[in-house]
Amino acid sequence: MRVIFTIVAAAASFVTSCAQAETTACTAITAVPTTISVQGVYCLKNNLSTNAVSGAAITVTSNHVTIDFNGFKLGGLGGGSSSTTIGILSSNASFLSVRNGAIKGFHSGIVLAWGANNLIEDMQVDGSLSRGIAISEADTTILRRNRVTNTGTPSSQYIYGISATGTSSNRNNIITDNMVSGIYANSFGIGIAFQNARQLEISDNTITNITGESSNTLAIYAFPPLSGYPSNEMRAVIRHNMLINTGAGFGIGIEGGTAICTDNSILGFATGIISCAVSARNDVM
């Protein structure tokens, strides 16, 4: 049996890249809310925050945009517990890169709506009310080396650390080497959720401390496909993930499409794996 790494050792691999060289050849984002409608390299040069209760702190509408946080934080706690504000909203933009910083206290930390060829890396998304990072109708997007922590509240419903959903799009996305820790819900509490995903890879992630209604607590979950959607087109590879909980819920649950689940370490769930088309070399305790 493979050794299940301790959570301390795993956490060390998710340290964000604040020690990276600062991006200085950039257009500084000096206040929020703001909209980026011209391609280019943008950056933070200090912490920013907003009290907005709706909309987005940073909206991106142009292709070919890079946002380097340079280790700084974007805060939304001032919007309060009923806020619907999004930290970063990509609206039909492609070739977006967001990296190297923190987003705290929004309804959703980062939302990629439509678009393709996007990259979110080395971000800490903490204290989101509903979603940490959400891919919606976006293709060929990579989420890697992010930490999504403390999402939802004990009175919340349908709380997801990371999600990938769509109808006509949602193809060829990769969710890899992320940590999702602390999902708080009174109904569905899910570490990584997906629906209608085609050619999705979920690999090398660590997911811990998922709470919710016992039957609706899942580390990784595929929702049933939407009505009229061809479920035989839904394909996912779920491999090399470490899933740790304290006795409730499901490690991996598949209710739509075809999933290959291999080489995962699953500890402390009531049920380890449900309905993977192929399940091999998984350690379940």
* Domain positions in the chain: 7-284
Both structure tokens of 246: 């304290």
| Average per-residue pLDDT for the chain | 91
> How far is Cα 28 from Cα 49, in angstroms, rounded to an integer?
15
Confidence of residue 231 (pLDDT cuts 50, 70, 90): low
Contacts with 120 (C-beta within 8 Å, 6 or more apart), sequence order: 97, 98, 99, 110, 112, 133, 141, 142, 143, 144, 146
CA 182 to chain centre: 13
Place of tokens 């999504």: 148
Homologous superfamily, domain 7-284: Single-stranded right-handed beta-helix, Pectin lyase-like (2.160.20.10)
H/E stretch holding 273 reads strand 271-274
What's the CA gap between 5 and 205, in Å, rounded? Answer: 12
- pLDDT of 2 > 80? The answer is no
For 77, phi and psi rounded to 5 degrees? -60, -25
Mean pLDDT of all residues in 100-121:
98
Q: Which residues contact 140 (CB under 8 A, 6 or more apart)?
A: 116, 117, 118, 171, 172, 173
| Environment class of 47 (CB within 10 Å of its CB; exposed 0-12, middle 13-18, buried 19+) | middle
pLDDT over threshold 90, residue 17 = no
- pLDDT level of residue 235 (50, 70, 90 thresholds): confident
**What is the C-alpha to C-alpha distance for residues 121 and 113, in angstroms, rounded to an integer?**
17
Q: Which residue has the tokens 């204290």?
A: 127
Per-residue model confidence (pLDDT) at position 21: 67
Please compute the mean of the pLDDT values over residues 34-52 and round it to a whole number: 98
**pLDDT digit string, tens, across residues 249-282:** 999 999 877 899 999 999 999 999 999 999 999 9
When pLDDT is cut at 50, 70 and 90, the band that residue 28 belongs to is very high
Summarize the confidence of residues 197-225 as an average pLDDT: 91
Q: In percent, how much of the chain has pLDDT > 90?
A: 75
Between CA 142 and CA 133 the distance in angstroms is 11
Tell the residue number behind the tokens 């080395």, with chain if given: 122
Q: When comparing pLDDT for 106 and 224, which is higher?
A: 106
User: Could you report the per-residue pLDDT of 54-75, keeping only the tens digit for each?
Assistant: 999 999 999 999 999 999 999 9
* Average pLDDT for 19-24: 72
pLDDT of residue 230: 67
Q: Nearest-CA neighbor of 149 among 133, 127, 129?
A: 127
Determine the pLDDT at residue 20: 62
Task: At 149, list the tokens.
Answer: 């922590």
Residue 156 near residue 128, CB atoms below 8 Å: no
Amino acid 170: pLDDT: 84
Please tell me the predicted confidence (pLDDT) of residue 46. Answer: 98
In this prediction, residue 12 has a pLDDT band, given cuts at 50, 70 and 90, of: very low
- If residue 9 lies in a helix (H) or strand (E), which one and from where to where? helix 7-12
pLDDT greater at residue 54 or residue 212: 54
DSSP string, 144-210: ES-EEEEEE-TT-SSEEEEEEE-SS--BS-EEES-EEEEEE-SS-EEEEEEES-BSEEEES-EEEEE
pLDDT in tens, 157-209: 899 999 999 877 788 999 999 999 999 999 899 999 998 888 899 999 999 99
